[in-house]
Amino acid sequence: MDDDLRARVDFLREALAYHQYQYHVLDRPEIADAEYDKLFDELLQIEIEYPEAAGENSPTARVGAAPLAEFEKVRHRRPMLSLDKCTTIEALEQWVERCGTRLATDQPIALTCEPKIDGVAVALQYRRGQLVLAATRGDGDEGENILANVKTVGAIPMQLLGSGHPELMEVRGEIYIGLEDFKAFNERALARGDRPLVNPRNGAAGSLRQLDSRVTATRPLTMFCYSLGWAEGGWAPQTQVEVLERFSSWGLRTNPMVELIQDTTKLGQYLAKLSDQRQHLGYEIDGAVIKVNDLNQQRLLGSVTRKPRWAIAFKFPAEEATSVLEEVVFQVGRTGAVTPVARLQPTFVGGVTVTQATLHNMDEVKRLDLHIGDRVWIRRAGDVIPQVANVILNARPDDATPVRAPTHCPVCSAKIVRANDEVVARCSASRDQCPAQLKEGLRHFVSRLALDVEGLGDKLIEQLVTEKLVTNAADLFTLSRASLVGLERMGEKSADNLLAALERSRKTTLPRFVYALGIREVGEATALALARHFFTIEALMEANLEHLEAVPDVGPVVALSIQQFFALDDHKDLVRALQEAGVTWPEVEREDAQAPLAGETWVLTGSLERFNRSKAKALLVSLGAQVAGSVSKKTAVVVAGTDAGSKLVKAQELGIRVISEQQLVNLFEENNIAL
């Protein structure tokens, strides 16, 4: 490729980047779509004829790349923290006051205020202005590399505009789908006979989780950049406002409703204005984010556990609307719990059309005095499942009929029972006898925190149970290519992918395996505690109540649930069948009996200044301790940080030893633990 052609390529890339910025960021297009397409097609043709001209960050990369096998993990250099929340001006003013106290200043603290976008948090890395990495928030410490998908988002520059870019920096922001784009996308999807997106936030999250970025490229994603994660080499901003101004000059999209407030009395005015404009913004928000503007003050304030002290989210009240109750259906969960669900006349609430809402249990139905035909208040807050908040009694029609609880399971017809001390009514059949319980149990078994079987979704589980190909979780590992290919939407490649995923899931861990069994009251944290205490599944299955209650975080209710689960031969047979099917895990490491804190149960409460609670817990575990989430007679020591609450009170009532954070630090130093 000669110099003239190289110059033409550079010109086309710069022109396309400029027009992308004008269109997606400034909303001020300077050329028609046809003219843009002409420039794009010319560049694409050159790159086809001269492959050496193509680059990873060429505008042509926005159409998407070949599918990935999986996302690689990315460790965040600085954790992506969640925000503390408040719902009143008084609480917000108290937060400002606490910031002033911690900064030892009586001078007004400058604050930035911005809409809290209801989207998906991501982190972008730019090296000398070139986009080199994009990661999801994940658990805050570790996310997934979604660079291929992010490159398809027109509002995100692959090459920053202007100059003065740092050697390396991380830009944080929120990817979302605008309401008009969401509506238009769903209309096109329905016209094609495709499945529409559920809501804008789920649509954005699902789009970024596509292994095939060509699918992501079809989704109308955009982004607001709201903070600097970190930077090295050539740029040391002093304020949040400076960060956002520089972002804008480099072509990164920032929210035009960000305001700098020097006087805290104006916070209420900003929030009132934002609330009034909420329905006209063109995107979903659930409140506002208020940050200390001075970055040095942010560093001084630091963070507590998983939340920064220098920022807070002000949450707007839940959005409400009224609808008519058309029907109440009863769904059966994996533990046999029978849950009433309200079917409603379609009603637009909080940016989405709601057709059903949760009723929790029959006690809630009785509390509401719910009748079919009632006009009811529906409340929806963010992504929370809509709920029936109240009944408008004076609007009840004459022919309204009370909601009656079923006496038999709506799926298998077994009798519905309710223990005296339980709110929940349950199907009396076992999981193997009730198809609804079996389906929900299988969904739980293959979920991400359990055996994590990719590609085994609800519709496929439905078919496997209906066709009687699977009668329990162990049957999943006996599936063959021939049995799968005959199912709806299951070709040979899909069948091979599922079998490969099942093969990978055979190698797991004991905590995941215990959690996957779906024992009532046993979540992932309890499963981990059980594995560390009993070391083998055989020991756990044979444990009596006394031994179970000796486990941190396991009280009488949980212990009884575990014992009752393994008292059934069907459940023991299932464990053995899974082991015979090749489900294995490495031996659980036993604690060193000589470890300083071996056999002791510790509890952390309050805010720690020196390190976050996760690190403190890890360090205690390294010394042999078990760290529980609640105080009981089995607790040896409670570490009380600032603002310690009910756990500290209970420890004092039980006469349990309480130590300060400094004493904990001294303990670590005495045992040569690096902090």
Active site residue 507: no
Side-chain-side CA neighbours of 390 within 13 Å: the count stands at: 7
Token representation of residue 79 = 């954790």
State the chain's mean pLDDT as an integer: 86
Q: What is the DSSP letter of 623?
A: T
Q: Which CATH superfamily is domain 3-63 in?
A: Helix hairpin bin (1.10.287.610)
Q: Using an 8 Å Cβ cutoff, are 103 and 298 in contact? A: no
At residue 574 the predicted structure's pLDDT band, cuts being 50, 70 and 90, is very high
Q: Which among 37-51, 149-163, 599-613 has the top mean pLDDT?
A: 149-163
CATH of 435-505, one of 3.40.190.10, 1.25.40.10, 1.10.150.20, 3.40.50.300: 1.10.150.20
Among 73, 116, 415, 647, the one annotated catalytic: 116
Higher pLDDT pick, 71 / 41: 71
pLDDT reported for residue 614: 67
Residue 230 has pLDDT above 60, yes or no: yes
In sequence order, the 6+-apart residues with CB closer than 8 A to the CB of 326 are 343, 344, 345, 372, 373
pLDDT reported for residue 69: 66
Residue 108 has pLDDT above 60, yes or no: yes
Measuring CA to CA, which residue among 420, 414, 349 is closest to residue 385? 349
Residue 333 has pLDDT above 60, yes or no: yes
pLDDT digits (tens, 9 = 90+) for 249-274: 999 999 999 999 988 888 989 998 99
Higher pLDDT pick, 65 / 533: 533
CATH of domain 510-580: 1.10.150.20
In CATH terms, is domain 84-315 a member of 3.40.190.10? no
pLDDT reported for residue 14: 82
pLDDT reported for residue 518: 94
- How much of the chain is in helix, strand and coil states, percent to nearest 5? 40, 25, 40
CATH topology of domain 601-670: Rossmann fold (3.40.50)
- All CATH 3.30.470.30 domain ranges in the chain, comma separated: 84-315
Taking the whole predicted model, whether its pTM rises above 0.95 is answered as: no
Measure the CA–CA gap between 380 and 356, rounded to whole angstroms: 11
pLDDT reported for residue 453: 94
Residues in the chain: 675
pLDDT reported for residue 217: 87
pLDDT reported for residue 656: 92
pLDDT reported for residue 56: 66
In which element (H, E) is residue 657 found?
Answer: strand 657-660
pLDDT reported for residue 2: 77
Measuring CA to CA, which residue among 125, 122, 226 is closest to residue 167? 125
In sequence order, the 6+-apart residues with CB closer than 8 A to the CB of 486 are none
Residue 154 has pLDDT above 60, yes or no: yes
At residue 428 the predicted structure's pLDDT band, cuts being 50, 70 and 90, is very high
At residue 329 the predicted structure's pLDDT band, cuts being 50, 70 and 90, is very high
Residue 527 has pLDDT above 60, yes or no: yes
Q: Across residues 524-539, what is the average pLDDT?
A: 87
pLDDT reported for residue 198: 64
Q: Is the dihedral of CA 487, 490, 492, 498 positive or negative?
A: negative
Q: What is the DSSP letter of 361?
A: S
Side-chain-side CA neighbours of 134 within 13 Å: the count stands at: 24
At residue 33 the predicted structure's pLDDT band, cuts being 50, 70 and 90, is low
Q: Across residues 235-241, what is the average pLDDT?
A: 93
- All CATH 1.10.150.20 domain ranges in the chain, comma separated: 435-505, 510-580
Q: Across residues 495-506, what is the average pLDDT?
A: 95
pLDDT reported for residue 176: 94
Higher pLDDT pick, 5 / 41: 5
Q: Which among 203-207, 233-237, 457-461 has the top mean pLDDT?
A: 457-461
| Percent of the chain whose predicted confidence (pLDDT) is above 70 | 93
CATH of domain 319-402: 2.40.50.140
At residue 189 the predicted structure's pLDDT band, cuts being 50, 70 and 90, is confident
pLDDT reported for residue 396: 92
- All CATH 1.10.287.610 domain ranges in the chain, comma separated: 3-63
DSSP strands (E only) in 185-269: 221-232, 259-261
Residue 592 has pLDDT above 60, yes or no: no
pLDDT digits (tens, 9 = 90+) for 454-486: 989 999 999 999 999 999 999 999 999 999 998
Residue 649 has pLDDT above 90, yes or no: no
At residue 243 the predicted structure's pLDDT band, cuts being 50, 70 and 90, is very high
pLDDT digits (tens, 9 = 90+) for 376-394: 988 775 546 788 878 888 8
In which element (H, E) is residue 618 found?
Answer: helix 613-622
Alpha helices in 506-608 (DSSP H): 510-516, 524-534, 537-542, 545-549, 556-567, 569-580
At residue 416 the predicted structure's pLDDT band, cuts being 50, 70 and 90, is very high
